[in-house]
Structure 1
């Protein structure tokens, strides 16, 4: 992917799960420069070291909680000060909160919306001037839950629906500036986000087996598959694509 050479990727939620998978894929397949953001210092340093060994390039590891406004500002400032620019913003950080309208607390709603939507809005706003300078791209990591109703995680579903509409609105606004904005909606990914649903290890194993068994392709979505789609959307091969949502779900939306 020659056209990603020297591009600077700012990736949130990079210390684990999908974010870590994106960082590792890019370090193996491209010579892009990576600014990795996460709250888990030990994990983030481990992922950064792995990326450095893969590519020979040292990522910028930024320990931060992007739900804190001052941290979000620091993230953008540190990335620009270190690399001189931002080409691609990947809004990946997210949390899940279980429960529906009858059995969840407002604290869950506030936490989920603050992480999955407000922080994305704020970080995107802060990064926009720099992305306009580079004619860059924004890729938001959503979920099929944003368009597939369920009763398990109401706040999470709402946050992802909002994220997808945010993607379209910002794509329309920034198109005249040459900035493309797209989203990706994975189906089931066996990541550590699942730890937040409150199941024991045995219950979680059964849950995963049941979910995968009901997917038409009978396989969980892999981080590398999501990362490959991100690399495509960030590349010149996707230079006419904006405001789109890409579903990668093993066929789950067919049912």
Structure 2
């Protein structure tokens, strides 16, 4: 797949899935704007891309979100693909009394930032008849395995449904919107969230007994963003090593 002369924004590009997506698009010829908060990590990703636009930004802040779009258009003159990938989790539960602070933090970046960036990018994507790929999670399909992840699961359910809703509104303009929902992927997500879960537990939780690499998710994202997927919109694609079917069978 070639993305020569295409312009792509990838949020949460400083590590993990976002980094893999940014590098894959760059390797396929795209002009990539890589967005993140960690300058050191983002610089390491930039070194693996060809002439990327590096944007240090907190996408939960409206000023920063606007800057992401404005700087991309100023540099490249257009926008073809928006990858809403930035996200996090904060352990909390209803009964422990720390639910609402974690709720606001998670919803702010996992959901509100996705909606806001999509809204800001919309007029530019309409011009190019571009497309959007939102990175959700199979957590959005499932009740939490651990009570402390309730907010994360809710946020990802919202991201997945937003993709379907946005696809309806964008359709008449020729803009596609799709969602990728990974299962377990080797990233720094566990360490960042200070989760007690282990990769071995995640392996045991799916029928293929494995954890994906970030480039597997990147491959799927590039397919959905390409002309090969020109008839696909409002869809959710799951890459979870069979985690959902294992849970359903239990």
Q: Compute the TM-score of the two structures, normalised by the length of structure 1.
A: 0.92
SS of residue in 2 equivalent to 1:50? coil
Within 2, Cα distance between the matches of 1:126 and 1:210?
A: 39
SS of residue in 2 equivalent to 1:177? coil
* C-alpha contact 1:97 1:196 (8 A) present in aligned 2: no
Match for residue 59 of structure 2 among 55, 63, 66 = 66
* C-alpha contact 2:136 2:159 (8 A) present in aligned 1: yes
What is aligned with 1:41?
Answer: 39
1:28-62 Cα shifts (integer Å, max 9, x gaps): 3x1111000000011111111111xxxxx300000
Within 2, Cα distance between the matches of 1:240 and 1:105?
A: 40
What is aligned with 2:5?
Answer: 6
Within 2, Cα distance between the matches of 1:233 and 1:189?
A: 19
Within 2, Cα distance between the matches of 1:191 and 1:251?
A: 19
What is aligned with 1:96?
Answer: 89
Q: Which runs of 4+ in 1 moved over 4 A?
A: none
1:105–1:152: structure 2 CA closer, same or farther, 3 Å change rule?
closer
What is aligned with 1:152?
Answer: 148
The answer as to 2:84 corresponding to 1:85 is no
Match for residue 127 of structure 1 among 118, 121, 133 = 121
SS of residue in 1 equivalent to 2:47? helix
* C-alpha contact 2:93 2:99 (8 A) present in aligned 1: no
Query: Cα RMSD over matched residues?
Result: 1.2
Within 1, Cα distance between the matches of 2:90 and 2:140?
A: 14
Match for residue 116 of structure 1 among 84, 87, 110 = 110
* C-alpha contact 2:88 2:193 (8 A) present in aligned 1: no
SS of residue in 1 equivalent to 2:83? strand
Within 1, Cα distance between the matches of 2:129 and 2:193?
A: 39
SS of residue in 2 equivalent to 1:86? coil
Number of aligned residue pairs? 243
What is aligned with 1:212?
Answer: 203
Please identify which structure carries the higher helix content. Answer: 1
SS of residue in 1 equivalent to 2:118? helix
Q: Compute the TM-score of the two structures, normalised by the length of structure 2.
A: 0.94
1:123-172 Cα shifts (integer Å, max 9, x gaps): 11000000000000000000000011113311111110011111000000
- Once the 2 structures are TM-superposed, how far is the Cα of residue 26 of structure 1 from its aligned partner? 2.2
What is aligned with 1:176?
Answer: 172
What is aligned with 1:54?
Answer: none
